[in-house]
């Protein structure tokens, strides 16, 4: 059985990685400087919980941890699965997620992030959208606002930057 640590004192953090070659962006506003988080890659929540527990045992509970989550979201699950299938059909070999994979709706993703934080599996997530710009639009417009009641404080500058990325992606010819 997994050993969950329900923690309400830690702020919920959400980051986004727009490219494997660029640094991730913190989407949450932080009241005070916090330690640089340790990123966790895990195939499922059980493995994530085990890895975070190991990190906390080795370096202490004060170091924040963020779970990488590969994301394909759409207004409905069927559309999200179809987008992933199109993406996968362009690959020469079967895609193996580097970390947790979420395919579904914005509401479902917000629920997953809330569970990860509330259960103390990690202090938050770094989202890795697999399909641009649609996924970004859903993250900014639906996922993040759904997390505000849980204490998520958005960083306006980061959201503005991501919105510019979305606009730029939509202006480029296919």
User: Tens of pLDDT along the chain (174 residues)?
Assistant: 344 444 556 889 999 998 877 889 999 987 665 668 899 999 999 999 999 999 999 998 888 999 999 999 999 999 999 999 998 888 888 778 889 999 999 999 999 999 999 999 999 999 999 987 788 889 999 999 999 998 888 989 998 888 888 777 765 555
Residue 70's SS3 state is strand
For 106-157, what is the HEC assignment?
A: HHHHHHHHHHHHHCCCCCEEEEEECCCCHHHHHHHHHHHHHHHHHCCCECHH
3-state secondary structure of 14: strand
Q: Cα–Cα distance between 130 and 107 in angstroms, integer?
A: 18
| Range 142-146 contact pairs with CB under 8 angstroms and sequence separation of 24 or more | 142/106, 142/107, 142/110, 143/73, 143/106, 143/109, 143/110, 143/113, 144/14, 144/27, 146/106, 146/107, 146/110
- Predicted local distance difference test score (pLDDT) of residue 165: 83
Q: Are 129 and 87 in contact (CB under 8 A)?
A: no
What's residue 22's pLDDT? 80
pLDDT of 98: 82
Q: Which residues of 85-124 are buried (b: 16+ CB within 10 A; e: fewer)?
A: eeeeeeeeeeeeeebbbbbbbbeebbebbbebbeebbbbb
pLDDT at 151: 87
Write down the pLDDT at residue 131: 81
- Residue 83, preceding bond cis, omega within 30 degrees? no
87: three-class secondary structure by DSSP: helix
Strands 65-73 and 100-104: parallel
pTM across the whole model: 0.88
Domain boundaries, given as residue ranges, for the chain: 38-171
């Amino acid at each position: 059985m997994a050993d969950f640590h329900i923690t309400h004192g830690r702020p919920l953090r959400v980051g986004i990685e727009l490219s494997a070659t660029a640094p991730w962006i913190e989407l949450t506003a932080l009241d005070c400087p916090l330690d640089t988080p340790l990123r966790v890659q895990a195939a499922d929540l059980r493995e994530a919980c085990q890895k975070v527990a190991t990190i906390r045992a080795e370096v202490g509970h004060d170091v924040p941890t963020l779970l990488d989550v590969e994301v394909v979201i759409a207004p409905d699950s069927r559309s999200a699965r179809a987008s992933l299938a199109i993406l996968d059909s362009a690959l020469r070999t079967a895609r193996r997620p580097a970390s947790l994979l979420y395919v579904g709706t914005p509401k479902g993703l917000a629920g997953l992030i809330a569970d990860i934080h509330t259960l103390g599996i990690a202090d938050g997530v770094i989202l890795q959208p697999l399909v641009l710009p649609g996924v970004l639009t859903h993250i900014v417009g639906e996922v993040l606002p759904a997390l505000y009641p849980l204490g998520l404080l958005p960083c306006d500058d980061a959201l503005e930057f991501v919105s510019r990325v979305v606009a730029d992606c939509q202006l480029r010819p296919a």
